[in-house]
Amino acid sequence: TQLLEQSPQFLSIQEGENLTVYCNSSSVFSSLQWYRQEPGEGPVLLVTVVTGGEVKKLKRLTFQFGDARKDSSLHITAAQPGDTGLYLCARVDNNNDMRFGAGTRLTVKP
Amino acid sequence: DTAVSQTPKYLVTQMGNDKSIKCEQNLGHDTMYWYKQDSKKFLKIMFSYNNKELIINETVPNRFSPKSPDKAHLNLHINSLELGDSAVYFCASSQEAYGYTFGSGTRLTVV
């Protein structure tokens, strides 16, 4: 049973479009992290969100943590081909126990 | 200077063999992990060690045995390899919950 549900599973868009990917859980988690993984590499941390309602921005990426700390979203503005990759959310609980969602595979076409 | 380094990057071996994957981190982190990523890209935790002590041990066949000689190293030994063990194995480290740093993975192919 997956603790985190990510949607959509696949997303293919044109350069310049905006997009949002979602990460949902049925239970509260202490913190949530977003990672991006490119082929042949390990996941790279983008952001950690801890406080309910928190919003963090990283250039064209906006991360939001739900008020109830059960969900999160990642919004990308004016997507570029370099944004292509696998986006993973991960919940972190006690003992640094981190569990990943299944990921959203994003393709941005030039 | 690579923060988390795994060796080898690729490993092709026959069923029934025993193999090891090594991981080292130079970040001074207290906790290290092994994750398995299957063909559908789902990343699943296998083990975590904090200061050489086993903390998380998921439902993994006992053919998989992690060993942490010191807090900078976490190796994974696999006995009697099976076809289903084929996957990419990632080592990671963290200091508390302040983000994990992953290695670039070891692609294991069992033939």
Domain range annotation of chain A? 5-109
Nearest CA distance, B67 vs chain A (angstrom): 19
Give chain B's domain count: 1
Strands B19-25 and B43-50: unpaired
pLDDT greater than 90 at residue A27: no
Quickly tell me which residue has 């990460």 as its tokens: A23
How far is it, in rounded angstroms, from Cα B19 to Cα B13?
A: 8
Q: Which domain holds residue B40?
A: 4-110
Best CATH choice for the domain A5-109 from the list 2.60.40.10, 1.10.1060.10, 2.40.33.10, 3.40.50.970? 2.60.40.10
Residue B56's pLDDT is 78
Amino acid at B107: R
B44 touches chain A (CB under 8 A): yes
In the predicted model, what is the mean pLDDT of chain B? 92
**Residue B1 banded pLDDT, cuts 50, 70, 90:** low
Closest residue in A to B96 (Cα) is: A96
Quickly tell me which residue has 């190796």 as its tokens: B75
What would the pLDDT profile of A56-93 be if each residue is shown by its tens digit? 999 999 999 999 989 999 999 999 999 999 999 998 87
Residues whose CB falls within 8 Å of the CB of residue A20, separated by 6 or more in sequence, listed in order: A73, A74, A75, A76
Cα atoms found within 13 Å of the Cα of residue B102, Cβ hemisphere only: 24
**Residue A1 banded pLDDT, cuts 50, 70, 90:** very low
Residues of A in contact with B36 (CB under 8 A): none
At A65, list the tokens: 């943590």
pLDDT greater than 70 at residue B97: no
